[in-house]
Homo-oligomer: A and B are copies of this chain.
Amino acid sequence: MDNLKSLIREVPDFPKPGINFYDITTLLKHPEGLRRTVDALASEFKDMKVDAVIGVEARGFIFAPALAYHLGAGFVPVRKPRKLPAECASISYDLEYGQDTLEIHRDAIGSGHRIVIADDLLATGGTAKAVVDLVEGLGGEVAGLVFVVELEFLLGRQRLAGYDVRSLIKYQS
């Protein structure tokens, strides 16, 4: 998958000094890069029964619906508070500084539904774990999680131990 990695731009000191930002917009704007990324995400789950793919606002919305299309599944958004219009389940979780809250429609996931969670980035895994808890709280089953980029040095997989975690492009630092 070295070709895809070459399409990612590294931006030093963004959003703050000392952070090396892996910018996927250079991959997204590249027609062949976009196509190969979506195809690679779909191939991870092509033999599984998947009812819905979840993406988290905002960057998770980029890949999850395209993945859902290719798996013959639905797409379910997880959003920030007060964005979804019907009855929601919500979860609050700790960030490096402060807390964040996410919501999902209660009627979006049925008991026993098999769910894939897709996002552009696996960092510490805090957001992904919060979404796992939302899904399981509604009776859904997490069939797997898939990320375009994984920052392995942040050990997000440890927080997702016991789940089927996939990623396309890995960074060790």
Contact = CB atoms under 8 A, between A and B. Distances in A.
B62 A28 contact: no
The interface residues of chain A, by DSSP majority, are classed as mixed
A62 B75 contact: yes
A105 B25 contact: yes
Nearest to A79: B58
Given A25-B108, A66-B66, A105-B25, A75 B34 contact: yes
Interface in A17-56: 21, 23, 25, 28-31, 33-35, 38, 52, 55
Contacts of A34: 65, 68-69, 74-75
Given A29-B75, A65-B65, A74-B31, A15 B84 contact: no
Contacts of A52: 29
Most chain B CB within 10 A, of A15, A62, A68, is at A62
Q: How large is the interface on A (under 10, 10 to 19, 20 to 34, 35 or more residues)?
A: 35 or more
Contacts of A15: 82, 85
Interface of A: 9, 11, 14-15, 21, 23, 25, 28-31, 33-35, 38, 52, 55, 57-59, 61-63, 65-66, 68-69, 72-77, 79, 82-86, 105, 108
6 tightest CB-CB pairs across the interface, nearest first?
A61-B61, A29-B74, A58-B58, A11-B85, A66-B66, A14-B85
